[in-house]
Amino acid sequence: MNCNSIVYGVFIFSMYVAWVRCSARQKSVHIISMFYLAGSYIAMNFAPDVSGKFIFYFRCASVAVGLALLAVAALSKIVQLPGVKVSRKQDFFTTWFSNPVQAIFGFFFYMFVKALPIKFASKIGEGAGRFCAKLNMPVNKKALENIRKCFPEKTEEECRKIFSDSWSVFLRFVFEVPVMQRIYKHSDKYISVEGEKYLDDLHEKPVVVVFAHYGNVSLVPFLFTKNEIKGNGIFRYPNNRLMSWFFLKMASVSGSISPIPKGDAGTRLAMKALIRKEALMIAVDQRFESAGSLDLKFFGRRAATAPGAVKLAKAFDAQIVPVHVVQLPQSKYKIVVDKPFSAEGDDTTVGQKINDIVEEWVRKNPKQWFWLHKRWGRN
């Protein structure tokens, strides 16, 4: 290690430490300076024989990278999504570096996969899923533990097979989102619907469509497009505001769904949609540890459940329609519509009926469900 390395290291470290006591504007200058110093160090130490002009251009390129990240981060401050709030306070590094990097990567990922053939994108996703299933991550251990508890009658090999396949199903879904517009366009080739007859009597009526993170949730809106039903979907957007913008673009592929954010503002929009006698999509398989949550059972274990679907259906006398999407080979899907039912009885009874329906789906085809999220919490 030479003297230059020590000097550059001290400068970069001192600038990093200075973040804690600087304003946002001063920190922006620090980031640009750090990229400039890092570019200078790389150019002079890893290419010592190059000309001074090359070092100058390399420094400019390094500063340009820093400016690009700052510009993307600034955009995340400017872009305002209706009703979307960041769920927790984010630190400077997350706001001005991590979020922009994620957004840039997400954009290039989306554009790259969008150009691929549909079946090829599906195959890449399935292969990536099998790879991720082999990684030694805490989330993988927790998911595998949940599978063992839900299916005590299955062998260890069977549980691991379900876990590996569920990763493949999930990442196939991720890789198919950028090509979803083409899947919609050629729906007669890729999508079949079972139980479509149940939707015939639901036109011009308030409807609550309950679904789970099962198969490919982005295909649930296809029902509304095909049957000319005005639909709305309640979603939880990512904390990264820029990724939320991409999420909105992906969620609106069908052209028939109006995204509604979770929260008080979203609840008011959902109520207005039901008053207009439109359909409302709500995911019902995620943990909801808050005041007013329903203390229900899922696979015989306590599972705190959001009461929104039940309360909205009862308040507006809406039919509850369970829908799930099953992944099939060759990039094909089957959308299954279960028989609608009314929200008769108390909230716990209706909520438990919905949980039992989702449990039936998972028991029938466990690899289709997203086992990685914390449905049961810590205990």
292 pLDDT band (50/70/90 cuts)? confident
- Tell me: the pLDDT tens digits for 208-235? 999 999 998 888 888 887 887 788 888 7
The predicted model scores a pTM of 0.75
Residue 59 contacts residue 43 (beta carbons within 8 Å): yes
**CA distances, 186 to each of 17, 190, 192, 263, 332 (Å):** 55, 7, 11, 35, 11
pLDDT one-digit tens code per residue, 58-72? 556 655 665 565 555
Q: ∠ at Cα 17 (15, 22), nearest 5°?
A: 80
Is it the case that residue 31 has pLDDT exceeding 90?
Answer: no
Are the C-beta atoms of residues 211 and 283 closer than 8 Å to each other? yes
What distances in angstroms separate CA 123 from CA 114, 119, 185, one per listed residue?
A: 14, 6, 20
At residue 80, the pLDDT reads 44
Residue 245: pLDDT over 80: no
Report the alpha-carbon distance of residue 379 to residue 369 in Å, rounded.
20
Residue 76, pLDDT above cutoff 70: no
Closest CA to 281 of 236, 234, 320: 234
The model's pLDDT over 167-193, given as tens digits with 9 standing for 90+, comes to 999 999 999 988 988 998 898 999 999
Alpha-carbon gap, residue 210 to 224, rounded angstroms:
14
Whether the pLDDT of residue 240 is over 60: the answer is yes
Please name the residue that has the structure tokens 């997350």: 94
Q: What's the rounded mean pLDDT across residues 249-270? A: 74
What are the extents of the domains in the chain?
3-110, 117-175, 191-368
SS (H, E, C) the chain: CCHHHHHHHHHHHHHHHHHHHCCHHHHHHHHHHHHHHHHHHHHHHHCCCCCHHHHHHHHHHHHHHHHHHHHHHHHHHHCCCCCCCCCCCCCHHHHHHHHHHHHHHHHHHHHHHHCCCHHHHHHHHHHHHHHHHCCCCHHHHHHHHHHHHHCCCCCHHHHHHHHHHHHHHHHHHHHHCCCHHHHHHCHHHHEEEECHHHHHHHCCCCEEEEECCECCHHHCCHHHHHHCCCEEEEECCCCCHHHHHHHHHHHCCCCCEEEEECCHHHHHHHHHHHHCCCEEEEECCCECCCCCCEEEEECCEEEEECCHHHHHHHHCCCEEEEEEEEEECCCEEEEEECCCEECCCCHHHHHHHHHHHHHHHHHHCHHHECCCCCCCCCC
Q: State the pLDDT at residue 264.
A: 78
More confident position, 314 or 77: 314
What digits encode the pLDDT tens for the residues 328-372?
998 999 999 999 999 888 999 999 999 999 999 999 999 999 998
The pLDDT value given to residue 128: 93
19-46 mean pLDDT: 53
Q: Answer whether residue 4 shows pLDDT above 70.
A: no
> 115-159 pLDDT, tens per residue?
999 999 999 999 999 999 999 888 899 999 999 999 999 999 999
Residue 11 has a pLDDT of 52
Tokens of 126: 């399935």
317 pLDDT band (50/70/90 cuts)?
Answer: very high
Band (pLDDT 50/70/90 cuts) for residue 18 is very low
Could you tell me the two tokens for 259?
A: 């995204």
Residue 296's DSSP bridge partners are: 303
Tokens 């149940």 identify what position? 198
Mean per-residue pLDDT over the chain, rounded: 79
